[in-house]
Amino acid sequence: MNTQELIDRFLDGETTVEEEQELCRRFLAGPVDPELEPYAEFFRDMATLPVSEKPRRRLRLVRRWMAAAAVVAAVVVAGVWGYVRVENQQLAKTYEGSYVIVDGKRTDNLVSIKDEVSQLLADADRIEAHARSQEVIGDAEQEVLQGLSPKQRKQIERLLNE
């Protein structure tokens, strides 16, 4: 069996202690193929360990922890991806058709213009509220003026014009 096949079996946890010792001997024997060089230091270090089943058990444990970490990472990535997707759908519902013109260029990327559009909507709400209050003031003035006699109106107009 060639060295690469032994390494593959080792990484899959299928090697015997004798096969692992053979791997260590091959890497200790001298130069290795350039594609195997990344494994050289590991197997040379492994050759210094006493022969027992403990390293194999530790390796299995490490592999299990690595597999668990990979699953957790996959779940986190999926969660983040799902969150971003939902946020983009909400943006599309809220700001559909919105765009901003900056330096003469139209931008309709909702993610990048979300803050500007939110600010514009808030400004529009303030303007609308202000307009309503001005309307109320105008209506109140009309009510007051309608309740006055013509003589009282002329006196008020004279006072305002002075």
Tell me the per-residue pLDDT of 58-105, one tens digit each, with 9 for 90 and over.
666 667 777 777 788 888 888 888 888 887 777 777 767 777 777 888
Instruction: Report which of 58, 25, 18 is spatially closest to residue 40, judged by C-alpha positions.
Output: 25
**What pLDDT does residue 51 have?**
62
CA-angle at 57, arms to 69 and 23, nearest 5°: 100
**What pLDDT does residue 58 have?**
62
**What pLDDT does residue 5 have?**
92
Please count the other Cβ atoms lying within 10 Å of the Cβ belonging to residue 24. Answer: 19
| Regions of the chain with pLDDT less than 50 | none
